[in-house]
């Protein structure tokens, strides 16, 4: 077996399977402090980021201010996501049934390796040597383009920003605007250097750059037999998939090719059409500062003579079950990829997305990536924040990122102490410690001395079913969402590490009981920032019981964590 497959990965919650090493783009190459110091020296990057994020912030504030019921809409989005995650196994089964009934084929992928294997096999079955792509963030997470190239298939990105990244042999640095670190002059140079047949008189005017990209992509749209897409949402009750975008390239990819392969994270499912209505109001305002998306493409299976006649849906776990098992960390799966948290984050605005190492940068990346990979592989990311709380204030589904950051910092410290050599054995430690372990040590150095921490976790068993799809093992939703569990909300209490004692009256993972709050302050009056008189980040760490509102499955295995403070 490949590393990380078929067994738990240390650092994921309850050591459940996480994203495998050596494939995809989820892990930091250098600890965040080192990478951030490097990007801080790029003055042009900082100017580009300041201008772009400032513009998006202003647009968002204007359109959000038009809605009197924005906070109620935001709370509705949070509740839909929380409910869906608590019953994810059932909704995934329903989605599979409905997609299949409508002529589509559903494939289950436990991790990036399986997903890449499935997609490359499907492409080769069509005989195509080129594919066009739209909504590529998830496929970037799993390194699909590299996997396709290794088998002789060329992938063409069609989102304008993704095209810039691909032609420039660059890495995305923003969830919504992957090329946010590039200005128009830099983009012009990339087009002149990499595009065949481009007019040498090309200027850096937006209209001219867009026209050049349109001409470059049009012939690829018209000749492609296979398209690969992501998805913003999937509706369980009808097996419907949805992609929202603003350029029209999605419409071309989703309608012209003969075969459409959609790769989607399991967390993107929503129960019903009525739920989609909520998110189609939240997402455009939070993402691009628009009242509605210019293009919303929705399809359900196969319709004879209209659109792709071979429709595939690949449902990907890749560490999401591990995040789901953590009653605090599971909030990260509520994310709808609007990037509002990046645009208000003072850290992101100064260092950019590349400093985070993962395809998911910014505040949401700092809590999502470590849970997908295992905390040890991204140990510095939970510390890449000032805990100012701005991300929570703008999140359209009210994800409490600051609380999750504190929770994950505690897990870094726990893991560091659990793997600390016994007394007197320090000299025997291998000199070549991994970068992740070193990052964990450096990042946790700000914490107070924490004594012995013990963790006892129950193993969540998932069953694997042998499938008929080639040599790839087909996994039922039990692997992805613990099918055997009773996922109804219960009064079972889970033990979790809470905030420092100075933040009395609150607990990690608190649901938002009221839409009225002050910036940087929770409804119960506790603040996000650390107290000025705090003697250390983890001084006085305590444990607290999570109430039933956290929607912990009744029989879910929960780690009992005991923290002793020095």
Q: How far is 360 from 176, CA to CA, in rounded Å? A: 10
Distance of alpha carbon 281 from the chain centroid: 20
**392-407, pLDDT tens digit by residue?**
999 999 999 999 999 9
Cβ neighbours of residue 221 closer than 8 Å, sequence gap 6 or more: 132, 158, 249, 252, 253, 256
Cβ neighbours of residue 531 closer than 8 Å, sequence gap 6 or more: 500, 502, 503
CB 364 within 8 A of CB 408: no
CB 161 within 8 A of CB 210: no
> In this predicted structure, what is the pLDDT of residue 504?
28
3-class secondary structure for 516-550?
CCCCCECCCCCECCCCCCCCCCCCCCCEEEECHHH
> In this predicted structure, what is the pLDDT of residue 13?
64
Structure tokens that stand for 563 in this block: 């923290």
> In this predicted structure, what is the pLDDT of residue 422?
58
Phi-psi map region of 531: left, alpha, beta (phi>0 left; psi -120 to 50 alpha): beta
Pairing of strands 560-565, 450-456: antiparallel
What does each C-alpha distance from 516 to 283, 402, 523 come to in angstroms? 21, 18, 7
Q: How far is 527 from 427, CA to CA, in rounded Å? A: 43
CB 512 within 8 A of CB 72: no
Structure tokens that stand for 141 in this block: 């997470």
Round the CA-based radius of gyration of the chain to a whole number and report it: 23
CB 221 within 8 A of CB 255: no
Structure tokens that stand for 386 in this block: 């000032």
CB atoms within 10 A of CB 47: 11
**512-525, pLDDT tens digit by residue?**
433 333 344 434 44
Cβ neighbours of residue 131 closer than 8 Å, sequence gap 6 or more: 123, 148, 153, 154, 155, 156, 224, 226, 227, 228
> In this predicted structure, what is the pLDDT of residue 17?
79
Q: How far is 310 from 261, CA to CA, in rounded Å? A: 8
Element (H, E) at 452: strand 450-456
If we measure between CA atoms, which residue out of 141, 163, 171, 176 comes closest to residue 253? 163
What is the full DSSP assignment across 276-318? HHHHHHHHHHHHTS-SS-SEEEEE-S-BTTBS-SEEEEEEE-T
Q: List the chain residues with pLDDT less than 70.
A: 1-15, 421-566
Phi-psi map region of 357: left, alpha, beta (phi>0 left; psi -120 to 50 alpha): left
Structure tokens that stand for 535 in this block: 């003697």
Quote the pTM value.
0.75
> In this predicted structure, what is the pLDDT of residue 445?
40
If we measure between CA atoms, which residue out of 277, 276, 286, 391 comes closest to residue 64? 286
> In this predicted structure, what is the pLDDT of residue 28?
83
Residue with tokens 């002149």: 192
Q: How far is 346 from 496, CA to CA, in rounded Å? A: 29
Q: How far is 229 from 201, CA to CA, in rounded Å? A: 34
């Amino acid at each position: 077996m490949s590393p990380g497959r078929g067994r738990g990965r240390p650092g994921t919650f309850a050591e459940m399977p996480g994203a495998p090493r050596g494939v995809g783009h989820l892990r930091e190459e250098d600890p965040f402090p080192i990478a951030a110091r490097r990007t801080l020296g790029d003055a042009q990057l900082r100017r580009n980021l300041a201008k772009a994020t400032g513009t998006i912030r202003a647009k968002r504030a204007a359109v959000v201010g038009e809605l009197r019921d924005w906070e109620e809409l935001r709370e509705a989005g949070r509740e839909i996501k929380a409910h869906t995650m608590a019953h994810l196994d059932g909704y995934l089964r329903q989605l599979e049934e409905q997609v299949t009934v409508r002529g589509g084929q559903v494939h289950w992928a436990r991790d990036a390796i399986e997903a890449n294997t499935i997609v490359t096999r499907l492409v080769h079955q069509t005989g195509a040597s080129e594919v066009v792509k739209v909504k590529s963030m998830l496929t970037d997470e799993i390194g699909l383009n590299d996997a396709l190239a290794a088998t002789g298939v060329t992938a063409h990105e069609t989102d304008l920003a993704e095209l810039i990244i691909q032609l420039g042999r660059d890495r995305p640095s923003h969830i919504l605007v992957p090329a946010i670190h590039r200005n128009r002059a830099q983009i012009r140079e990339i087009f002149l250097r990499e595009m065949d047949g481009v007019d040498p008189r090309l200027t850096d005017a937006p209209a001219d750059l867009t026209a050049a990209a349109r001409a470059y992509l049009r012939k690829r749209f018209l000749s492609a037999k296979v398209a690969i897409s992501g998805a913003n949402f999937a509706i369980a009750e009808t097996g419907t998939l949805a992609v929202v975008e603003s350029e029209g390239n999605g419409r071309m990819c989703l309608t012209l090719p003969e075969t459409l392969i959609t790769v989607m994270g399991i967390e993107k499912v929503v129960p019903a059409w009525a739920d989609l209505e909520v998110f189609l109001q939240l997402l455009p305002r939070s993402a691009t500062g628009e009242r509605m998306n210019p293009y919303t493409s929705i399809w359900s299976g196969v319709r004879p003579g209209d659109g792709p006649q071979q429709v595939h849906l690949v449902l990907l776990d890749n560490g999401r079950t591990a995040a789901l098992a953590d009653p605090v960390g599971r909030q990260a799966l509520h994310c709808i990829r609007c990037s509002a948290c990046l645009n208000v984050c003072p850290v992101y605005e100064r260092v950019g997305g590349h400093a985070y190492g993962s395809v998911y940068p910014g505040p949401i990346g700092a809590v999502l990536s470590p849970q997908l990979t295992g905390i040890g592989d991204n140990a510095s990311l939970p510390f890449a924040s000032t805990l100012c709380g701005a991300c929570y204030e703008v999140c359209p589904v009210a994800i409490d990122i600051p609380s999750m950051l504190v929770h994950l910092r505690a897990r870094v410290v726990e893991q560091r102490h659990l793997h600390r050599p016994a007394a007197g054995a320090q000299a025997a430690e291998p000199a070549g410690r991994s970068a992740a372990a070193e990052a964990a040590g450096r990042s946790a150095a700000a914490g107070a001395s924490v004594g012995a921490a013990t963790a006892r976790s129950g193993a969540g068993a998932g069953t694997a079913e042998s499938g008929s799809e080639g040599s790839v093992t087909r996994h039922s939703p039990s692997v992805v969402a613990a099918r055997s569990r009773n996922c109804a909300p219960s009064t079972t209490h889970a033990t979790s590490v809470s905030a420092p004692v100075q933040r009395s009256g609150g607990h990690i993972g608190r649901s938002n009981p009221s839409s009225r709050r002050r910036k940087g302050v929770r409804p119960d009056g506790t603040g996000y920032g650390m107290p000025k008189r705090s003697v250390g980040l983890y001084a006085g760490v305590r444990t607290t019981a999570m109430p039933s509102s956290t929607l912990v499955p009744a029989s879910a295995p929960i780690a009992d964590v005991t923290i002793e403070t020095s």
